Amino acid sequence: MVGSHIVGLVESEKQYKLIINNMLTKLTLTNFKNFSHDSFDLKKINILTGYNGRGKSTILQSLLLLSQSVMSKGNFEKLHLNGEWVNLGDFDEILNNPDSFITKIHLNTDIEPCSEVHFEYGISDDDKVAQLEEFTINGISLNSQIGKASSDDDEKNKKIKDFSSPPRHLINLFQDFHFISANRCGPVKYVDKLEIPDFHRVGKNGNLTINTIASYNDSVKNEMNIDKSDINQYPLHEAVSRWISYIMDGGDLEVKGNKKEEKSKVLSVNFTNPISNTYHRAENVGFGYSYILSIVVTSLVAKAGSTVLIENPEAHLHPKAQSKITHLLTRLAERGVQVMIETHSEHILNGFRLCALKDDYTLSNTDLSIYFFDKNYKTKPLRILENGRIEDWPNGFFDQQESDLAEIMRLGARKLQK
């Protein structure tokens, strides 16, 4: 029944593979947590920053909800509020206005058959699951009508909803998600060796990172090399080592107990000391190495057309390493992966601004979207100019260093006067 209403929206698998961008271009949230009705333009790299508790995570959560719902049931018919990516409790907890029992997610994409998608979710029998009430694609409703009921039926022309067959393009867009949360794994002694599916994900906490390194059979595409002049393709473990060493200014890694060692039931990762070049267990090396490992691995295995969402990539990193990790994420975006980042680091922001200016990267200022969430629960889009400058620098936007230095100068001068 639904199929008759979406003729032309679904293309063949072969045609789908020709679409290499699969990028969200706009997100509008209505009656969803912090937002009564707010829109966000999305680009290749999206940076969400600002005051705590003002809605940055909500942007990611709205997309992760759709992703985990698709991954759970293969369609959007129910919005699973608790699952693989996020756990948001009951339906009434995600409503901005508790008197309205409908929340809306409106998307624009660069996928022509699904360039405009609208979801409306309402209350269901299960408080932890929202029911899809309205679903339109390019203005065409996927609601369907049955014919006239019998004369003894009071509900003539009864409207039914069947959302079980959304277009493949849309399903693939939300299935191909990678999410790395702020609460990711630190150093571990070892992990159990596991079977990893063909679509490699490290898990939102990075718990599958070491298994992914050990089981990944393909070579990493040369577009992801540190130096664009390097045309070689490397095994995943070697590509990871090269990026780890580059970001951290030294160091290497090895995975012990890989799949060739059949007797081993566990895996472990060791890092080298950059000076002595001797290997040490992860527990004996700083947290920064383990914290970026899941980000590096995800960046190297994510395929073109997928989406990578990262919370606080700067965690446990020296400022120089924070800047260098943007070089990896820029390579990722150049490869055709949409990147969404929640961050509190000016080094992350400035790293991307520099990449947009360097000849080594094809990233431009127009490929970056920045939203600042201020203390009054307002969001401000910030535009990066061609010369790397940001227009209308708002109060509270990475200006704490200047504020503190001014206060140090003032108080220091007063001390000298005494």
pLDDT tens digits along 300-334: 999 999 999 999 999 999 999 999 999 999 999 99
Over range 257-267, report the average pLDDT.
70
Each as own residue / partner, the long-range contacts of residues 207-210 (CB below 8 Å, 24 or more positions apart, any chain) are 209/185, 209/293, 209/294, 209/297, 210/255, 210/267, 210/268, 210/269
Q: Please tell me whether residues 241 and 325 are part of one structural domain.
A: no
336: CATH: 3.40.50.300
Instruction: Tell me the C-alpha distance between 48 and 60, whole Å.
Output: 9
- Last residue in a domain, options 285, 301, 317: 301
Q: Please tell me whether residues 409 and 281 are part of one structural domain.
A: no
Q: Are 33 and 94 in contact (CB under 8 A)?
A: yes
Which amino acid is present at 384?
I
Q: Please tell me whether residues 139 and 98 are part of one structural domain.
A: yes
Residue 153 lies in a domain: no
Q: Please tell me whether residues 294 and 308 are part of one structural domain.
A: no
Q: Hunting for tokens 């002595």 — which residue is that?
A: 276
Over range 227-238, report the average pLDDT.
93
Q: Please tell me whether residues 50 and 138 are part of one structural domain.
A: yes
For position 417, what pLDDT does the model report? Answer: 81
Name the least confident of 148-157, 223-232, 236-245. Answer: 148-157
Q: Please tell me whether residues 215 and 292 are part of one structural domain.
A: yes
- Specify the number of domains making up the chain: 2
Which of the two residues, 404 and 88, has the higher pLDDT score?
88
Q: Which residues have C-beta within 8 Å of that of residue 3, sequence separation ≥ 6?
A: 10, 165
- Last residue in a domain, options 301, 330, 353: 301
Residue 341 lies in a domain: yes
For position 16, what pLDDT does the model report? Answer: 32
Residue 152 lies in a domain: no
Q: Please tell me whether residues 277 and 311 are part of one structural domain.
A: no
Over range 208-220, report the average pLDDT.
90
For position 164, what pLDDT does the model report? Answer: 62
**Containing domain of residue 5, as a range?**
1-147+158-176+303-418
Q: Which residues have C-beta within 8 Å of that of residue 372, sequence separation ≥ 6?
A: 49, 50, 379, 380, 382, 394, 396, 397
Q: What is the pTM of this model?
A: 0.86
- pLDDT band (50, 70, 90) for residue 86: very high
pLDDT-above-90 percentage for the chain = 60
Over range 103-127, report the average pLDDT.
94
pLDDT in tens, 13-69: 333 333 346 899 999 999 999 999 999 999 999 999 999 999 999 999 999 999 999
For position 61, what pLDDT does the model report? Answer: 97
- Last residue in a domain, options 252, 274, 301: 301
Q: Is the pLDDT of residue 259 over 60?
A: no
- pLDDT band (50, 70, 90) for residue 7: very low
Q: Please tell me whether residues 56 and 17 are part of one structural domain.
A: yes
Residue 64 lies in a domain: yes
Q: Please tell me whether residues 400 and 282 are part of one structural domain.
A: no
Burial 96-116, CB ≥16 within 10 A → b, else e: beeeeeebbbbbbbebebbee
pLDDT in tens, 331-380: 999 999 999 999 999 999 999 999 999 999 999 999 999 999 999 999 99
Residue 310 lies in a domain: yes
For position 156, what pLDDT does the model report? Answer: 42
Q: Is the pLDDT of residue 12 over 60?
A: no
Q: Please tell me whether residues 344 and 294 are part of one structural domain.
A: no
Residue 329 lies in a domain: yes
Q: Please tell me whether residues 127 and 273 are part of one structural domain.
A: no
Q: Is the pLDDT of residue 114 over 70?
A: yes
pLDDT-above-70 percentage for the chain = 87
Over range 104-111, report the average pLDDT.
96
pLDDT in tens, 128-179: 999 999 999 999 888 754 333 344 444 444 455 666 677 888 999 999 999 9
Q: Please tell me whether residues 281 and 363 are part of one structural domain.
A: no
For position 19, what pLDDT does the model report? Answer: 35
Which of the two residues, 146 and 278, has the higher pLDDT score?
278
